[in-house]
């Protein structure tokens, strides 16, 4: 059972790394309809259609309003997979003059009863 859960979770992580969402699966019908349109209009095969719309030469594809509705077309330009390097510089700031801060103590304790001898209830035990 643990092996099955490990396999399912690793596949989930793999799918998330491809940046595929549930919305993309609902748009597959639009992809097939647009591929069929390209086959009827331009005579493109499915591979030519995929290369034209999802390949590096995506800018050469004819502009249709359906291009925005195609699945797997998220803008991934904002992802940075390069390691970031941070340099921590320690800087020490020194004051030129010492500032003496005097804080007036605002707390004092005054016992509420002024009996010299405490009642025997609050005394430690006398016999051990």
In tens, the pLDDT along 31-83 reads 899 899 989 988 989 998 888 887 776 555 556 676 777 887 765 545 555 56
Rg for the chain, CA atoms, rounded = 37
Q: How far apart are CA 11 and CA 74, in angstroms?
A: 20
DSSP 8-class letter at 13: H
Q: Report pLDDT for 4.
A: 95
Helices and strands: H and E segment counts in the chain: 4, 0
Contacts of 67 (CB under 8 A, 6+ apart): 34, 53, 61, 73
Residue 12 has pLDDT above 80, yes or no: yes
pTM score: 0.46
């Amino acid at each position: 059972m643990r092996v099955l859960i490990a396999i399912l979770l690793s596949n989930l992580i793999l799918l998330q790394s491809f940046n595929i969402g549930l919305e993309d699966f609902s748009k597959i019908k639009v992809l097939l309809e647009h591929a069929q349109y390209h086959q009827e209009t331009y005579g493109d095969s499915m591979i030519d259609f995929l290369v034209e719309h999802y390949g590096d030469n995506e800018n050469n594809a004819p502009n249709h309003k359906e291009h925005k509705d195609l699945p797997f077309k998220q803008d991934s330009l904002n992802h940075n997979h390069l390691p970031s390097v941070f340099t921590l510089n320690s800087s020490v700031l020194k004051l030129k003059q010492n500032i003496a801060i005097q804080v007036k103590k605002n707390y004092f304790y005054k016992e509420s009863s002024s009996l010299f001898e405490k009642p025997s209830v609050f005394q430690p035990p006398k016999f051990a």
